[in-house]
Amino acid sequence: MIEKILPSQVTVAEALSDPPDAALFPGEEELIRNAVESRRKEFTTARWCARRALGELGLAPVPILKGERGAPVWPRGVVGSMTHCAGYRAAVVARRADVLTVGIDAEPHDPLPDGVFEAISLATERQRERRLRETSPEIRWDRLLFSAKETVYKAWFPLTHRWLGFEQADIELRTDGTFTAELLVPATAPGPATAAVAAPTAFRGRWLVADGLVATTIAVANERDAHTG
């Protein structure tokens, strides 16, 4: 599903259930030791997807450990993102020479729990959501906004190694399956892994609703390497 809203340079692996042969690699077990069974399954399957996606790039399977603020640690020269929700797990990876950063999120296409939309949205976003509901009431725009906010953070953090709160991204969803995110933070020094890359001020992304799910993606092309490679 999610490959429909990602560029061809990004490889995708998905699962609609938890494969019985999915297993954790050394080091990963420690990350999930005290988790409940449902959390253990989604964690394991997401990493099973990640290793399948790495294989599509011709890379050997490796443990996917956690780094700063719990972000997944990818092999050198690789960017990636993972997501999981009820009935869906996915991982995407790309070579950093092609893609500077990538973020994905999937959610059930259901209303957000009471109070969540107000907690994660700006006044401007709530105004847009009301207009979108009038135009396309079949879409759960509140859930879509939440998913887009998650995706923005996943794309932002590997570039900056800085926290980004829900209130620090002003997201404009569009009915054509795209969205933009204006980052409401001052310019910062980029993270050490991408030292020649300026911290982003905005992102463009895509969204999709299918099979009872909403998915959002951001993939930023590495134009610098493409021009010099």
Query: What average pLDDT does the segment 30-45 reach?
Result: 91
pTM: predicted TM-score of the whole model, two decimal places: 0.91
Q: Residue 67 is part of a domain; what is its CATH number?
A: 3.90.470.20
Number of folded domains that form the chain: 1
Averaged pLDDT, 166-176: 97
Full domain range(s) for residue 134? 2-228
Q: Helix, strand or coil for residue 4? A: helix
* Residue 141: closest CA among 177, 181, 168, 166: 177
Confidence of residue 199 (pLDDT cuts 50, 70, 90): confident
Provide the H-helix boundaries in the chain: 28-31, 37-56, 116-120, 123-135, 141-160, 223-228
Average pLDDT, integer, range 221-227: 69
Q: What is the dihedral of CA 137, 139, 140, 146, to 10 degrees?
A: -130
pLDDT tens across 62-96, in order?
Answer: 999 999 988 999 999 999 999 999 999 999 999 99
Instruction: Select from 80, 110, 111 the least CA-distant residue to 94.
Output: 80
Cα(49)–Cα(69) distance, integer angstroms: 21
How many Cα atoms within 13 Å fall on the side-chain side of residue 187? 2
